[in-house]
Chain A
Amino acid sequence: MADKNSKRKKIILHFALSFCILIFAFCIKGVVYAAELNLTSQAQEINVDQQFQVDVILNTEGEQINAVEGKIVFPDIVELKEIRDGNSIVNFWIEKPQLTSLHEIVFSGITPGGYLGKKGLLFSAVFQAKKKGGGLIEIQNAKTLLNDGKGTEAKLEIFNFQFSIFKEAPAIQPSAPEIRDLELPEDFKPEIASDPNVFDGKYFLVFATQDKSSGISHYEIKESRQKFLKILKKWVIAESPYVLKDQRLKSYVYIKAVDKAGNERIAVVEPRYPMRWYENWWIWIIIILVIIFSFIAIKGNLWKKQ
């Protein structure tokens, strides 16, 4: 009997030891971390006609990521109302997030130097619920690249957003937050460049800035050779890079960044080859007027003497 008990104890001990070794082996093998792209929203149960905001969040899981691209696909029971990219970790958009077809938002961009963190906001999308039902807003064809100088693709996990639309939501759900934007867009320095490989070698203007509240809506440009005549020139909506109308670079170039709340910031690029005095028509007009008035004055004096 004592023999049987001691044998049983030995068997239990052996199995326990084996089990521990197995667990240890799997633990030290480690978990392979991947970057994550998450679609998150405060709203889970939504009312018909209610607006809700979905954030696209990057968690780099300890890696430095400097480029990201992908596509957000959403069902037809919701309608896209607005895209907000103010406060994005993406500094330069290759493809600014926008609707490319009925139910797809395409985006791609870079963060020079890379981003490392858990809550990197790429952009937010505001949807309106159109009809009752369940749905999924999902990320497709997503890629995140490491800041390693080679563009190595990082392992990526996707977390989509499941939601339900009720005719009458069971409880009050938060709607898309309204943004009260009193700040101007950030200051910026546009630059004129040319390259034989683009725009047939013509001079073009590059510019970019951010708005930390509502996001940049659009840019407008005007060129004027005379500073005081700029008010007569019309603003034209433009994107970077913008091919300059004045290829002789004699114009002041005004670039206006407008955010979604209507706040404006204007940057000016001085002409690289300013107009010489004899190139200004208004100087000639003044000279001619002076000559005419002088002539009239002299003639008048002579007549008086006579």
Chain B
Amino acid sequence: MKNTLQNFLYSLLFVILFVSISGLSYATSVNISADVQGLCGNGNVDSGEQCDGSNLGGATCVSQGYTGGTLSCNSNCTFNTSACTSGGGGGGYIAPAVITQVIFTGRAYPLSKVVVLKDGQIAVSTIAGPDARFEVSLTELATGNYIFAVYGEDSQSRRSSLFTFPIYITSGATTKVSGIFIAPTIAVDKSEVKRGDNIAIFGQSVPNGEITVVISSEEEFFGKTAADPNGAYLYNFDTTPLDMGQHFTKSKAARDGAISSFSKAISFAVGTKNIAAELPKVVVKGDMNNDRRVNLVDFSIAAYWYKRPLSTAFKVIETERLNGDAKIDLIDFSIMAFYWTG
């Protein structure tokens, strides 16, 4: 009797354990943030904070570019310079030049165009070197929070996904953002592939980088290939194990211990015939005026139709370029924000 009770109890526990494990939800995001946020209000100047309560981290009005006064701390752990003073009394004091800049360095693709967006608008662009490394700086910035985004454009005019990061810029300080590793570009040679045939997945990344290609189906398939000295990579995938229907593929690069985030995911279908993809892949989603850019103009066009019944002509565009639900709402703007180019 006792043994039976024991066995029943353990069986029950193992069933609970099994159900719990099978109910685990896995994170789908591969974004890795190294930003360690402190607790504003704990009295310590933690990472991401300028100050905390009465703790100013040694800063004064003078260090913030003023000539005097009393520096304090706002409730959101940023400096309050309202009691700082500026300007002299005619004593001939010349304040030193205050240079505020942010420098971006990282890897894109060899000789590729690298674009930096500041708060969603193109701020500066540069060309990466033959080794895919780039460095670009922005000056004349005001103190405050900025959202910077970086993307690359490869030799076939394919654009990478946006690499976005929020930064607080302090007056007079140089902020260096290094280690940017732009995700590879990606394309496929067929929009539909006959099941059992190969599909070519290709794009550009860093020279001689190790490229991991992921094909999403009910289960995920992984493959590796090496980029050539020009950063170009090609992976042929045998579609035999894939079911009929829509699938997605994406890639990421690794080099010298650094790993990029995943590229945009692009789709292809497994069917009964081969249909070549249109090359080069043009930006379609979010591009409302077909100028191969997704920016404030497209935003304004969509905003015009926000909460308005769509015209027949615009419904066609909405179906092609947004989510095709015959209305403009927050979801459409979110899609646009994902494909943003500035």
Residues of chain A having any CB pair with chain B under 8 Å: 14, 18, 21-22, 24-26, 28-30, 32, 40-42, 53, 55, 57, 62-64, 66-67, 69, 86-89, 91-92, 94, 108, 110-121, 143, 145-151, 174, 177-180, 182-184, 186-189, 191, 193, 195-199, 204, 206-208, 210-213, 240-241
B331 part of interface (Cβ distance < 8 Å) = yes
Q: Are A208 and B333 in contact (CB under 8 A)?
A: no
| Residue with the greatest number of chain B CB neighbours at <10 A, chosen from A21, A62, A89, A113 | A113
Q: Are B86 and A241 in contact (CB under 8 A)?
A: no
Q: Are A92 and B296 in contact (CB under 8 A)?
A: yes
- The CA-CA distance from A22 to B121 in the complex, in Å, is 52
Q: Looking at the assembled complex, report how far the CB atom of A93 sits from the nearest CB atom of chain B, in whole angstroms.
A: 9
- The CA-CA distance from A199 to B264 in the complex, in Å, is 34
| Residue with the greatest number of chain B CB neighbours at <10 A, chosen from A116, A119, A184, A204 | A119
Q: Are A110 and B75 in contact (CB under 8 A)?
A: no
Question: Given known contacts A22-B16, A108-B330, what 5 new A-B pairs fall within 8 Å (CB)?
Answer: A24-B17, A32-B25, A113-B162, A145-B331, A180-B81
Q: Are B82 and A55 in contact (CB under 8 A)?
A: no
Q: Looking at the assembled complex, report how far the CB atom of A192 sits from the nearest CB atom of chain B, in whole angstroms.
A: 9
- B residues 313-336 near A (Cβ < 8 Å) are 313-314, 317, 323, 330-336
A contact residues around B75 at 8 Å (CB): 40-42, 53, 55, 174, 177
* B296 nearest in chain A by CB position: A206
* B289 nearest in chain A by CB position: A195
B244 part of interface (Cβ distance < 8 Å) = no
A contact residues around B84 at 8 Å (CB): 180
B111 part of interface (Cβ distance < 8 Å) = no
Q: Are A18 and B297 in contact (CB under 8 A)?
A: no
Residues of chain B having any CB pair with chain A under 8 Å: 6, 9-10, 13, 16-17, 20-21, 23-25, 27, 29, 31, 33, 35, 37, 40, 48, 74-76, 80-82, 84, 86, 117-122, 140, 142-147, 149, 162-164, 166, 264-265, 285, 288-289, 295-297, 299-301, 303-306, 311, 313-314, 317, 323, 330-340, 342
B contact residues around A53 at 8 Å (CB): 75
A contact residues around B331 at 8 Å (CB): 67, 145, 151
* B144 nearest in chain A by CB position: A212
* A174 nearest in chain B by CB position: B75
Q: Are A116 and B31 in contact (CB under 8 A)?
A: yes
Q: Are A22 and B296 in contact (CB under 8 A)?
A: no
The 10 closest A-B pairs by CB, nearest first: A212-B144, A113-B164, A151-B331, A112-B340, A113-B162, A91-B120, A151-B334, A67-B334, A42-B75, A145-B334
Q: Are A67 and B333 in contact (CB under 8 A)?
A: yes
27 pairs from A and B in contact (CB 8 Å cutoff): A18-B13, A28-B24, A40-B75, A42-B75, A62-B33, A87-B145, A89-B145, A92-B120, A92-B296, A110-B299, A110-B333, A113-B149, A116-B164, A117-B35, A117-B166, A119-B48, A119-B76, A145-B331, A178-B82, A180-B81, A189-B122, A193-B297, A197-B288, A197-B314, A206-B299, A206-B300, A213-B144
Interchain Cβ contacts within 8 Å, total number: 219
- The CA-CA distance from A187 to B148 in the complex, in Å, is 15
Q: Looking at the assembled complex, report how far the CB atom of B40 sits from the nearest CB atom of chain A, in whole angstroms.
A: 7
Q: Looking at the assembled complex, report how far the CB atom of B104 sits from the nearest CB atom of chain A, in whole angstroms.
A: 14
A contact residues around B285 at 8 Å (CB): 149
Given the contacts A53-B75, A55-B75, A182-B86, A94 and B142 also touching, CB distance less than 8 Å: no
Interface of B is mostly: mixed
- The CA-CA distance from A91 to B122 in the complex, in Å, is 13
Q: Are B296 and A208 in contact (CB under 8 A)?
A: yes
* A143 nearest in chain B by CB position: B330
- The CA-CA distance from A156 to B35 in the complex, in Å, is 21
A contact residues around B74 at 8 Å (CB): 177
Q: Are B117 and A94 in contact (CB under 8 A)?
A: no
Q: Looking at the assembled complex, report how far the CB atom of A44 sits from the nearest CB atom of chain B, in whole angstroms.
A: 11
Given the contacts A91-B120, A119-B37, A55 and B20 also touching, CB distance less than 8 Å: no
Q: Looking at the assembled complex, report how far the CB atom of A16 sits from the nearest CB atom of chain B, in whole angstroms.
A: 12
A contact residues around B288 at 8 Å (CB): 195, 197
Q: Looking at the assembled complex, report how far the CB atom of A244 sits from the nearest CB atom of chain B, in whole angstroms.
A: 13
| Residue with the greatest number of chain B CB neighbours at <10 A, chosen from A57, A94, A182, A199 | A94
- The CA-CA distance from A63 to B304 in the complex, in Å, is 29
* A110 nearest in chain B by CB position: B337
* B168 nearest in chain A by CB position: A87
Q: Are B120 and A94 in contact (CB under 8 A)?
A: no
- The CA-CA distance from A139 to B271 in the complex, in Å, is 47
Q: Are A191 and B144 in contact (CB under 8 A)?
A: no
Contact with A119, one of B40, B146, B299, B339 (Cβ below 8 angstroms): B40
Given the contacts A66-B337, A177-B74, A241-B303, A14 and B9 also touching, CB distance less than 8 Å: yes
Q: Are A26 and B289 in contact (CB under 8 A)?
A: no
Given the contacts A25-B20, A206-B300, A118 and B31 also touching, CB distance less than 8 Å: no
* B314 nearest in chain A by CB position: A197
- The CA-CA distance from A56 to B198 in the complex, in Å, is 51
- The CA-CA distance from A151 to B323 in the complex, in Å, is 9
* A194 nearest in chain B by CB position: B289
A contact residues around B143 at 8 Å (CB): 183, 212-213
Q: Looking at the assembled complex, report how far the CB atom of B28 sits from the nearest CB atom of chain A, in whole angstroms.
A: 8
| Residue with the greatest number of chain B CB neighbours at <10 A, chosen from A18, A92, A111 | A92
A contact residues around B24 at 8 Å (CB): 28-30
Q: Are B121 and A188 in contact (CB under 8 A)?
A: yes
Q: Looking at the assembled complex, report how far the CB atom of A285 sits from the nearest CB atom of chain B, in whole angstroms.
A: 39
Q: Are B166 and A62 in contact (CB under 8 A)?
A: no
- The CA-CA distance from A28 to B16 in the complex, in Å, is 12
Q: Are B336 and A110 in contact (CB under 8 A)?
A: yes
Q: Looking at the assembled complex, report how far the CB atom of B302 sits from the nearest CB atom of chain A, in whole angstroms.
A: 9
B contact residues around A207 at 8 Å (CB): 296
- The CA-CA distance from A87 to B48 in the complex, in Å, is 15
Given the contacts A18-B9, A53-B75, A212-B145, A149 and B339 also touching, CB distance less than 8 Å: yes
A contact residues around B333 at 8 Å (CB): 67, 94, 108, 110, 151
